[in-house]
Amino acid sequence: MKTLSRFLAEIVTALRGLLADASARSTMIVGILIYAVLYPQPYVGEVLRDVPIAVIDQDNSTSSRTFVRDLDATEWADVTLSAPDIEAAEAAFYRREVYGIVIVPSGFEADLLSGRPAPVAAYSDGSYLMIYSNVMKAVVTVSNTLGAQVNYARLTATGVDDGVARAALSPLTITSIGLYNPQGGYASYVIPAAFVLILQQTLLMGMGLLHAGRRLPSGRKLAATVLAYLGLYLGWVGFTQILLPYLYGIPRMGELGTLLMIAVPFICACIAMGFALAAAIPWREGVVFFLVVMGMPLFFLSGISWPVEMIPAPLHKLSLLAPSTSAISAFVAVDQMGATVRDVAAAIQTQIALALGYAALAVALSSIAGAKRRKAVATPQA
């Protein structure tokens, strides 16, 4: 009983040491709270709607006005400017008042009624892929709908049955269902994944601030320190993966037990990596600088912003040295897809291997540093 009390006291001491260090406290506690408040805000709207565009209607016919009206009615684009010519539309584009330009040429209605192709020119800002996608989706959807209406009227006018005409224009009926993200929201996609990387980076930075340049703990003190960090970050996992999705209306399907099965080895791997970095880089600023530099590459290699399958194999294998790379897909699979332990077994095994590997590396580096210190003490100074 006395041994247990001492051990619990060591855990409390480790947490007090964290709270007493202003830099570590700001990184491992205040920083995560700030991220939780600020990071999701740009994505609260979930999807991009009503991109401002300019329209140049050179035909000024019933069909062209119908086209423009239907374009404005879509959820993807908002016709905010009816420009007299391309110069006026370009000026509005360069002032960032609109992000796309649609030109309906003269003869548009005549081409439609005569059965000839009726071209429409659409320009959009390709430097913003989501904006470009919205504008083009709006133009293509309205064009296809208007074309189908014209063809339907032409077929029924020749005596074709209504059902036959509809089947001829649309022989296949497609029902699109977005699995695991029914609203197609960007917040539902990026927030749960990004916070896994945020937890890793804040834990590693905090450990670097607390342990770099110092003799690493050993024995009971080491076990207590590990449990202190593990308990703290299990709380952050619950906060970022359960409470935040609930507050922001992000769908979540996973079971708590499965989440813990991936969270515990992930945090242990991060703790072991933190000790290894603290032993390898013996000054606080060096650890922070290294992690800041590596933050963006890890984000791009994690599969959040670009599919893992499209990343060069050597780079992807190298990125697996960071616990977050394999953990992100596992967390998303559990939380958003309801994956079981068997489904994420490979990621769990990777985390365990990283934890053991980084722990061994930390012990080896700490032993080398200790031997150097003892040699420096034993060597007489001139």
Asked whether 24 and 210 are in contact (CB, 8 A), the reply is yes
Give average pLDDT by consecutive 10-residue segment, the chain, 382 residues.
79 87 90 87 77 93 91 92 92 93 92 84 88 92 84 75 72 75 73 89 92 82 91 92 85 86 95 92 87 86 81 88 91 87 93 95 83 65 50
Residue 382: predicted pLDDT: 47
Chain segment 187-237, per-residue pLDDT in tens: 777 888 888 999 999 999 999 998 887 888 878 888 999 999 999 999 999
Q: Rounded distance, CA 56 to CA 60, Å?
A: 9
- The single-letter code of the amino acid at 128 is Y
Q: Rounded distance, CA 62 to CA 336, Å?
A: 47
Residue 118: predicted pLDDT: 85
How do the domains of the chain map onto residue ranges?
2-43+183-378, 51-169
Which distant-in-sequence residues (6+ apart) come within 8 Å of 220 by Cβ?
6, 7, 10
Chain segment 319-348, per-residue pLDDT in tens: 899 999 999 989 988 888 888 899 999 999
Domain 51-169 annotated CATH 1.20.1580.10: no
Q: Rounded distance, CA 176 to CA 173, Å?
A: 10
Sign, CA dihedral 219-196-353-318, equals negative
Q: Rounded distance, CA 195 to CA 243, Å?
A: 12
